[in-house]
A and B are shown apart, each in its own frame.
Chain A
Amino acid sequence: MSTLVIGPLARVEGHGGITVEFEGDTVKDIRFDVPEGARLLEPLVRGKRYDEVAPILSRICAICSVAHTLTSLKATEDAFGIKISPQTELLRELMTRGESIESHALHVFLLALPDYLNYPSATALAADKPAAVTLGLRLKKLGNQIQETLGGRAVHPVNAVVGGFGRVPTFEQIITLRSSLMQAVADCDAMIDLVASLPATDFCHSDTLYAALRSPHLDTYYSGDEVMLLSDGNRAIVSAPDYRTFTNEKSLEHSHSKHSTFRGSPFMVGALARLTVNPRRLTGRLAVAMKRLKLVLPADNPMDNNKAQALELLNDVDRALDIIEQLLRDGLKDERPVPVHPRSGTGTGITEAPRGLLVHSYTYDDGGRIVSADVITPTAMNAASLELHLRRAVEQCGERDDTIIAKRLQMIARAYDPCISCSVHLVRRA
């Protein structure tokens, strides 16, 4: 038996690694390892009042802090029976678009792109191809501008509170956002050109079960309460309160993580899953760009998640503009948050974080304090699927060559865009 240890993984958020155990040339075991200190925020939030919960649990992850904040608010509002206004819903959806633009630009340009062009980092790449890197930075900045305008801060938003917003952005702020978004339309085309020009990554094929929030509208990250799992034409729908039927987490010694499976099968969440589960989204400019990227759905190659992120980024810019048009048409109102009347009970919020499905579920006492909290992050959901795809890639590599295997496995792990801080459940064994 021999072991191939890859890591620590660079250009991912947090600390992770991959261990492959071979028996001869056959893979005996493959693990996604995480030497990241556990912060145990779920039990630590117990006893906290409803207005403290989102600010604390947003700290699970910076890149997904809008998603954690909004999912937390959704869970709390569900528990208390609070109905938010249509304007709040639109503003929250706009916030998620900002987060997705920032996160996807960061991942596609700064973390994944260097792999395709054989550079160690985006800054090294910038020395030879400054236009590609500055394009990514411009898009990333646009995402942050949206997050700052709506949330008051790009990382860990403060303005989204239970029932609404502390202060609704002004008409002038929204107009400024619109002009930045319009300038980004051409940048999105340039991004698609760039991604279309990248070398093919054809080293991992696998049947994949995809899971994503089912959109009640054309497409959404924030609204909706049903998850659809889709594979080979088979579909299953799970509603928010039943989320445990697909997360079904298990602590495992060998994998160092709690893994999620649906009826025993690993599933993939994230950009590729969202495009697959909600094909109605694939219209207009998005459909044209998809053809340019030669992306066919359902995909059998996890590397396509990078293409899916680029497509979503383009779509996010278009959708953000649509939302702004609607806000301006309806007239922005300086609404105050809906009054909160705490009551005992359980509430669940499910949204799409940039990396995929995110669940927060809380039980409150009648004074509005947390009795128990459960948070299930996209990276935790993806861990089992990632290990499956890593295994397939090694199996499909042909003759064993550790250098090639190491490079491919790192690219696949990166394509999943793992957010290790997010995986509150992943810890290393002593």
Chain B
Amino acid sequence: MSKPTVGIFGLAGCSGDQLVILNCEDRLLDIVALVEIRDFLTASSQNDTACPLDVALVEGAVASRHDAERLQAIRARSKVLVALGTCAVWGGVAAMDRGLDRKKLLQEVYGETEWEYDSVPTQAVREVVPVDLNITGCPIEKEHFLAALAAVLNGDVPLYPQYPVCTECRMRENNCLLVERGELCCGPVTAAGCDARCPELRVPCVGCRGPARDANPSSMLAVFEAKGFTREQIAERLKTFAPEGVTA
């Protein structure tokens, strides 16, 4: 059997998810033995930019017409498209632009210019093209990437936790930052998978993995409000990494 062909792409983002792939130092040479990486601009100057791909890994959000065109071209040549990281899955921090006047934001950064920049309101990958698998995280967890790769190679689909960070945090027997210290911790409504990294370090969860599917937002809202936080404060925090974090 020939090796599956893979492309790794970055849209508007910090390249953190591509970096996580490169951070698999102990596995990197095994990975290139198992799959054929045909298109990976960040790592290679010899890329086939048109060949069909079995798997496309896309990080970053769409923030320009150029990004959208690239993404459509990637979708057209790929059997499986994986959205890699919170920006690709939810829009990420740049999607805080939702509801704001993009022209004004641009003007604030660049001043009055005689020319127009190619810049559009930030969108997640699935808002532009169909996505086959979402791997969230800002950045993604190395183990989640490796599990996805192993699953795809074996014709399987990886499973990721749908429960909130609180579940993992309780399993680590941490003191609760929200209930015991009154801190605005997003753990109750944020997707787990990080092993409660931040609360383990006594740092409140900032919601970088986006909303958890199996959370109980209405009861959590009551807990937050009992601790003196307003709905606006909570919504403001939850939409930092995922504008939809707030719809709940």
Contacts and interface: CB of A to CB of B under 8 A. Distances in A.
B209 to A, nearest CB: 12
Interface stretch (B92-100, B149-157, B212-220): B92-100
B240 A56 contact: yes
A421 B13 contact: yes
A253 B201 contact: no
Interface residues of A, number: 68
Interface in A394-430: 410, 421, 424-425, 427-430
B122 to A, nearest CB: 7
B22 A13 contact: no
A397 to B, nearest CB: 20
Given A40-B105, A121-B43, A161 B25 contact: no
A130 B122 CA distance: 41
A45 to B, nearest CB: 8
B205 to A, nearest CB: 9
A165 B200 CA distance: 12
A137 B16 contact: no
B45 interface: yes
A40 B102 CA distance: 9
In this complex, the interface size class of chain B, counting residues with CB under 8 Å from chain A, is 35 or more
Nearest to A424: B109
Given A38-B63, A153-B197, A430-B116, A65 B16 contact: yes
A271 interface: no
B10 A15 contact: yes
Contact of B109 (A38, A48, A55, A428): A38
B117 A428 contact: yes
Contacts of A123: 28-29, 32, 37, 43-44
A308 interface: no
Given A141-B26, A428-B118, A430-B117, A156 B97 contact: no
Nearest to A136: B25
A62 B19 contact: yes
A429 B115 contact: yes
Contact of B45 (A11, A60, A155, A428): A11
B15 A14 contact: yes
A12 interface: yes
Contact of B203 (A47, A63, A65, A166): A166
B82 interface: no
Contacts of A55: 206, 208
Contact of A253 (B63, B115, B203): B115
Contacts of B162: none
B138 interface: yes
Closest 4 CB pairs of A and B: A37-B63, A62-B16, A37-B12, A120-B46
